[in-house]
Amino acid sequence: MTRLLALALSALAITEQGQAVEQAVEQAVESNHDLEQVTVTATRSARTLQAQAESISVVNNAALRQISAVHPSQALASVPGTWVNRGNGQESLVAIRSPVLTGAGGCGAFAITQDGVPVRGTGFCNINQLFDSNFEQAGRIEVLRGPGTVLYGSDAQHGVINVLSAAPANGRETNAVIEGGANQYQRVKLGYSRGDDDGGFRIGFSGARDGGFKDDSGFDQQKLQLRGDGHLADWSYQSLVNISNLNQETAGYVTGKNAYKNDTRKRENPNPEAFRDSQSARAQMRLERTLDNGNALQITPYLRHTDMAFLMHFLPGTPLEQNGQRSVGVQTALRHGKNTPVQFISGVDLEYTAAWLKQSQEDGFSVFPAGKQYDYSVNATLAAAFSQVELALWQSTSATIGARGEYLRYDYDNQMISGDTTDSGETCINGFTGAIGCRYSRPQDRNDAFANLSINASLVHTFANEASGILRLAHGFRAPQATELYRLQNGQSQADLDSESIDSLELGLRQSTETIRYGVTAFYMQKADVVFQSSERLNLSNGETRHYGVEYELEWLLTDRWRIGATGTFARHQYTNNVSAPGSGPIMSDGKDIDTAPRQLHTLNASWQPLASTRVALQWHDTGSYYTDIENAHRYDGHKLLHLRVLHELSDSTALGVRIENLANVDYAERADYSSLGGGDRYFIGEPRSVFADLRFTF
């Protein structure tokens, strides 16, 4: 942390010139008098939400400052149809119009991006990859719910979380935040920015230390972000560099029915040896220019690097996983026909990733062998082309139709003995059943390729009262992740997996005035060739599911001092066939709810500004009950939480923030789960009432 802090402080002397191309966007989403939202996620360009068919929610800078999130789940709690399931420390699982998806490919259903560029390579996501994004100092966060547009391919099946950096200041700005709270939590955030109408730069550093609510837990995390905007010949550019480091002592699940209600067990950590160390670095530069014919060209090259090691406390024997990836890529977009009745956007995206993974265990027992269990590398090549046309059918109606073709190839190199043996070639014998074969199986060297096509079509109609009616159809996909293909279980010599597909229909109505903004969206989605993970952690293929429900979003300026917000989801996520495990009969899952899929999620926000210098926010969050296993035999009852946040400006340059999380001191589980291998019902126990305070300085 010391070295990164020194780097952040020394970088305050950096000077760049650039173009603050997003300042107007940020001003639009921050305004207290106009609730119209402007987003960039769907099209890589600034557009009002009323003109778009996609369901997009914005967490603006004012909300992020008030929340001062320790974990991304807090920042995204008010986004309808979205649930970030907090694990221990900075770990998380994501749901967007879906159940919370786990397993090797669970993260592949969601694109996690920083300024439009995915934080991990296609096919190499990590279930906890939100901690790679710089949400702590974001300018805003946008969430696209449902299949991504043609600008997104695999890894955007259910939605996109796009963390957007803050634009450089127009002038000079220096800020610092010193924060402390429950469980020896400490954080410092430093920022410096300088710029004018022609460009500028911004540098931000965040360093946090958490002593951990659980025994033998906690984390240290540092993030550094540099952004520069400006001009280079006929090009405007926006450059971004992100560096992050996480050292976490991880607390594992606490097992036992309703263990989260037992005061004597709340701080229990059955895995004091567990840890997670992760480092990442990313660099990207968005280049834009207007061509002689009036078309606009956008090119975004990028580089990525990640290394991670963690003890898999949730598996018998707690094996150690080490993985990493290096990738290079470029996104392109060419826009035709600006300000004409017919507009086109077309482009090509290319990416190359070199990745590796190792898994080992010190002590072996039964079918879990000691020594190395996996050791392989995978090189992946991605090529995609897309095109979309937008037509003004009538004065008040527009239509879009587009398609994206994508080709993904894996070159897999097994650096161990193939098959389900130990690393020396010996066989494993199950101590309970006498069955032969180690739990982990390694396929022989191979190549796999997946070609997919996605299609989007939509209608947007503006009524006389300026409300917008939306109809959107989308067909999306998700290619198998590398770990689903090459990290096999006993009984598998190769994974015969197809790309998952999803068909989506949504109808919406939204309106924005000076005092009220609302949106209601009904959606229905069907998925095929779905890969599941059973409670025995076996990958189950050829699944089919359906997902349907209604999302709502309301923001109402009652007076200059009162603001009310409400968001929520009524939804059902179901299996529509019986899935089968290797070597066993079908699981009677047809018609049952998918596990970890609450039918209701609701949030109510009330904001009061009693003085010009004081803002008080109260948030109530309701998580409905859900099943914790495929068979729907085990259930978590859900919970309701209340959070209080106060921000008071002591002077023009100093502010005091106080936050009380879980104000009513409710007993709850951040995550409830059931595992036949892990002792049955198990929980990540939620923290009791916790108080945080910070001092904020702006110069």
Q: How far is CA 269 from CA 26, 160, 274, 549, in A?
A: 43, 33, 10, 37
Tokens of 504: 């989506």
Is the separation of the CB atoms in 39 and 49 below 8 Å? yes
Residue 315 DSSP one-character state = S
> CA-CA distance, 488 to 500, in Å (whole number)?
18
Spell out the domains of the chain, with CATH numbers in brackets: 2-698 (2.40.170.20)
Tokens of 170: 């127009």
> CA-CA distance, 110 to 107, in Å (whole number)?
6
pLDDT at 16: 33
pLDDT at 17: 31
Is the separation of the CB atoms in 194 and 172 below 8 Å? yes
Q: pTM above the 0.85 mark? A: yes
Tokens of 459: 């209608």
| 3-class SS string, 570-589 | EEEEEECCCEECCCCCEECC
Is the separation of the CB atoms in 133 and 110 below 8 Å? no
* Identity of the amino acid at 613: S
pLDDT at 582: 57
Residue 119 DSSP one-character state = S
The list of the chain residues with pLDDT below 50 reads: 1-33
Angle (CA) 369-248-640 rounded to 5° is: 105
pLDDT 10s digits, 54-67: 999 999 999 999 99
Which run of H or of E encompasses 682? strand 680-685
- First CA to last CA distance, the chain: 24
pLDDT at 32: 41
pLDDT at 421: 93
Q: What burial class does residue 568 get, using C-beta atoms within 10 Å of its C-beta: 0-12 exposed, 13-18 middle, 19+ buried?
A: buried
pLDDT at 257: 94
Report CA dihedral (98, 99, 103, 104) to the nearest 10 degrees. Answer: 10
Count of CB atoms within 10 A of residue 341's CB?
A: 10
Q: Is 22 left (phi over 0), alpha (psi -120 to 50) or beta?
A: alpha
pLDDT at 3: 40
pLDDT at 578: 87
